[in-house]
Amino acid sequence: MVAEKSGERIRVLIVDDVAETRENLRKLLSFDPDIEVVAMASTGEEGVELAKETRPHVVLMDINLPGMDGITATEQIVQEVPTAQIVILSVQGETGYMRRAMAAGARDYLVKPPSGDELVNAIRRAYEIGKVQAARIAPPPVAEVVRGRPGPSRRGHLITVFAPKGGVGCTTVAVNLAIALQERLGAEKKVAVFDGSLQFGDVGVMLNLQTNRSLADLAGRVDELDADLLTSVLTPHPTGVKVLLAPPHPEAAEGLRAADGEEGIGRVIRTVIGKMLEQFDYVVADTWSWVDDVSLALLDEATLVLVVLDPLIPAVKSARLFLDLARKLEYPDEKVALVINGADRRTGLRVDQIERALIPAIGHIPFDERAGFAAANRGVPLLAEERGSPVARGFARLAQAVLDRLEQMVSEEEEEDMEAEVSRRLLGRILQ
């Protein structure tokens, strides 16, 4: 799911006091050409030293060590080598340690002795999360954008639509949700679509927009981005929704990347989204199907992430992996919701089966062959093909459910702020 960097081997440090265990782990890993054991340590102290020296991607950490224990060593490595991801190994029955290990900053937890597959999978997962984190740390923060929350200069909400498996209707849900929101809220509220599928964006085709304005026009100009410049790159749709299209071809997308430096694309996205949220009440972002610095910026900045899947096993499996990633990125539960597209397919899983395997769905959209055909060939949004059709009603309900969820999130946040204010005042009075 996470794009691989070319040719990089995963550097692993093993920390265990038993020589035989170290050797067994090393042997298990020697079968995988992508993994390289860079060092082995027999105490916690030595583990911390070697982590600083060798800067591994992943540390396999035993819990019971003489002297400094595995949890303390984990805490120190997290502090001193924040790029290192720690996987704890412990014997059965030490599950009480698991919480402490996770609280200390460990990424994962395996019971000894792990199978080769378990071990390699845990290492790969930890490595990928490390990469995602690095992409997140790299771009300098944009001052006025508070992650995922409306701030002083931010009036709107970003709703990012993501499908960990391609072809299941991500773009369809993004576009139709935006239109349904605009219909529901009327002309007073401003709704926009951001096509975050930078290389092969198809929002323009889906909405039949004839224009050459796109995000590519902002290459090298994000620092001068103001309301006028933003307006000049947006394309209006007859429904009232404004669209910021993806660059017209993959080279232009690369140009955008080049103009702002290798790591700069995440910053470009965050800046543009920040500006859009000053103007719009709701921005719906479409994404491509993998987590990289572009989609991660859109996921981070979102108030709400909608995960789109069809009711088939491969999509459910990918959604499961994405939910794990969301948890590891520390997104609050209420930030992530499922949308099941084609939920009525007779050959598919039932909604309740999917919800039991994952999390409750915020909406389901039925499959409509005729509307799908019109959408693909004439650029008529799915919900506009026939008024009052099941698909149109599905999107109207989804729009309402999204608005309800956002309102609930905002009021909970206000409540928390209020409670904090009350205790601050109380404390002030006690300390007077």
Q: Provide the binding-site residues for Mg ion, judged by CB under 5 A.
A: 170-171
Are 392 and 366 spatial neighbours (Cβ–Cβ below 8 Å)?
no
Are 244 and 194 spatial neighbours (Cβ–Cβ below 8 Å)?
yes
- Which is closer to ligand ADP, CB of 282 or CB of 367? 367
Shortest distance, position 303 Cβ to ligand ADP, whole Å: 21
Are 344 and 24 spatial neighbours (Cβ–Cβ below 8 Å)?
no
Considering only the stretches 64-72, 81-89, 165-173, 234-242, report the one whose residues sit in contact with ligand ADP under the rule CB under 6 A: 165-173
For residue 126, report the phi and psi dihedrals to the nearest 5 degrees: -60, -40
User: Could you say whether residue 235 binds ligand ADP (CB under 6 A)?
Assistant: no
User: Exactly one of 170, 191, 253, 307 binds ligand ADP (CB under 6 A); which one?
Assistant: 170
Shortest distance, position 163 Cβ to ligand ADP, whole Å: 5
C-alpha triplet 338, 342, 346: angle, nearest 5°: 120
Look at phi and psi of residue 313 and say left if phi exceeds 0, alpha if psi is from -120 to 50, else beta: alpha
C-alpha triplet 115, 118, 123: angle, nearest 5°: 125
Residues between 109 and 138 that touch ligand ADP (CB under 6 A): none
* 64 Cβ contact list (under 8 Å, min separation 6): 17, 70, 90, 91, 94
Shortest distance, position 288 Cβ to ligand ADP, whole Å: 8
Shortest distance, position 200 Cβ to Mg ion, whole Å: 8
- Which is closer to Mg ion, CB of 170 or CB of 298? 170
Q: x-or-dash pattern for ligand ADP, window 330-349, by CB under 6 A?
A: -----------xx-------
- Which is closer to ligand ADP, CB of 255 or CB of 379? 379
The residue of the chain with the least Cβ separation from Mg ion equals 171
Shortest distance, position 309 Cβ to Mg ion, whole Å: 13
Size of residue set near ligand ADP by CB under 6 A: 20
**Among 325, 318, 288, residue whose Cα is nearest residue 160:** 288
Q: x-or-dash pattern for ligand ADP, window 368-397, by CB under 6 A?
A: xx-xx--xx-----x--------x------
Six-digit token string for 69: 């224990």
- Which is closer to ligand ADP, CB of 172 or CB of 318? 172
Are 26 and 53 spatial neighbours (Cβ–Cβ below 8 Å)?
no
**Which one of Mg ion, ligand ADP, none is in contact with 3 (Cβ closer than 5 to 8 A by kind)?**
none
- Which is closer to Mg ion, CB of 377 or CB of 432? 377
The residue of the chain with the least Cβ separation from ligand ADP equals 372
- Which is closer to ligand ADP, CB of 188 or CB of 369? 369
For residue 235, report the phi and psi dihedrals to the nearest 5 degrees: -115, 125
Q: Judging by beta carbons within 10 Å of its beta carbon (0-12, 13-18, 19+), is residue 151 exposed, middle or buried?
A: middle
CA distances to 107, 183, 217, 326 from 268, in Å: 29, 30, 12, 22
- Which is closer to ligand ADP, CB of 88 or CB of 163? 163
**Which one of ligand ADP, Mg ion, none is in contact with 379 (Cβ closer than 5 to 8 A by kind)?**
none
Task: Please list the alpha-helical segments (H only) found in 302-341.
Answer: 313-328
Shortest distance, position 416 Cβ to ligand ADP, whole Å: 35
Shortest distance, position 157 Cβ to ligand ADP, whole Å: 21
C-alpha triplet 227, 229, 235: angle, nearest 5°: 95
d(CA 123, CA 378) in angstroms, rounded, equals 47
d(CA 68, CA 229) in angstroms, rounded, equals 57
The DSSP bridge pattern shows strands 242-244 and 235-236 to be antiparallel
- Which is closer to ligand ADP, CB of 25 or CB of 207? 207
- Which is closer to Mg ion, CB of 50 or CB of 246? 246
User: Exactly one of 2, 51, 88, 168 binds ligand ADP (CB under 6 A); which one?
Assistant: 168
> Contact positions toward ligand ADP, by CB under 6 A?
163, 166-172, 341-342, 365, 367-369, 371-372, 375-376, 382, 391
